[in-house]
Structure 1
Amino acid sequence: MNGPALHDRPSASAASWRIALPHSAAAVPVARALVRTALAELEHGADCDTAELLTAELVANAVEHTVVGDSPIELVVELLPSGCQVEVHDPDPVPPFDLTWPGAQAPDPWQEHGRGLLLIRALSSSCGHRPTTSGKAVWFRLPVVPRQRRSA
């Protein structure tokens, strides 16, 4: 799951966005709105609801678990003919180990937290993380959904 990320693929992208977000909970709705707008405006075939949900999980995790000051986090959205890829960059180099290797225990059904990375693993076509010069990038990919299977 730590396969090629944005920088490793040929640039056959239809569109891409890169935006700095505040290191606060306010970043989550902004990130969701950007993904929703990008997919809607281009009438892209990736599942918008799933893209929003998984983006919110990545951004919330970056805000909650990044311990390196108040540096902004960065959202990168790339729309490709085959699907979309979303990356969240943060300044903490520590990888999210449970993203690519499920935890030994199932999440506690009575706890509010602990399901985000499980959702990303379960709902994306692939996901992973990679080191960057300023920390790490955590990413997921969604495929294009055939038109007849998209919700109206």
Structure 2
Amino acid sequence: MPPDVPISASWRIALPHSTAAVPLARALIRTALTDIDAPADSYTAELLTAELVANAVEHTHGDDPIELVVELLSTGCQVEVHDRDPSPPGDLSRSGPGREPDPWQEHGRGLLLIRTLSSACGHRTTEHGKAVWFTLPAMPARPSPPARHARTAE
């Protein structure tokens, strides 16, 4: 995370290393961002979080929990998924020739979604494995509806 971006709130939650982690993570991110009226798009955050958690469950071995880290920033939000495998994920760099998923394959679109819908994404090694992350920008504030004036009968 950029050092000059202040964090306004942060959560760190251990999830089971099983497919049950995906709906749990979706519910947690939805609740976290909705309940505090976060500036980021909760629908996109929910989708991308589910992709990161599903990848961690599918591509890492063992029973060690997966960790979900959500940080609300003044500029939006950042979500990280930590696992115990230090191997980097697939290619999180921007798309280019030969990097698009095969349309006939069942898998391979998760990282494309993350690259396309996030403002930034990547991975880093940690003391116990790796963290894969994405950031979403703050959504523009919605204008308040115009005040309604009561009509008076004359």
TM-score bracket for the superposition, by shorter chain length: 0.7 to 0.9
| TM-score, scaled to structure 2 | 0.86
Secondary structure of the residue that 1:19 maps to in structure 2? Answer: strand
**Residue 16 (structure 1) aligns with:** 10
**Residue 76 (structure 2) aligns with:** 83
TM-fit CA distance, 1:113: 0.8
- Residue deviations 1:34-84, cap 9 Å, x none? 1101111110120111000000000000000013x1111100000111100
Residue 147, structure 1, aligned to residue 141, structure 2:
yes
Query: Structure 1 stretch 103-112 or stretch 121-130: which is displaced more?
Result: 103-112
CA distance change for structure 1 residues 83 and 105 in 2, over 3 Å: closer, same or farther?
Answer: closer
Secondary structure of the residue that 1:97 maps to in structure 2? Answer: coil
**Residue 87 (structure 2) aligns with:** 94
Aligned residue-pair number: 142
For residues 38 and 94 of structure 2, the distance between their equivalents in structure 1, rounded to whole angstroms, comes to: 30
TM-fit CA distance, 1:97: 3.5
Question: Letter of the aligned partner of 2:37 in structure 1?
Answer: E
Runs of 5+ in structure 1 lacking a partner?
none
For residues 53 and 93 of structure 2, the distance between their equivalents in structure 1, rounded to whole angstroms, comes to: 17
Q: CA RMSD in A?
A: 1.7
Residue 127, structure 1, aligned to residue 121, structure 2:
yes
- Residue deviations 1:98-142, cap 9 Å, x none? 112647342122222100000000000000000000000000000
**Greater share of helix:** 1
Question: Letter of the aligned partner of 1:56 in structure 2?
Answer: A
Question: Letter of the aligned partner of 1:14 in structure 2?
Answer: S
**Residue 28 (structure 2) aligns with:** 34
**Residue 44 (structure 2) aligns with:** 50
Larger radius of gyration: 2
For residues 8 and 32 of structure 2, the distance between their equivalents in structure 1, rounded to whole angstroms, comes to: 11
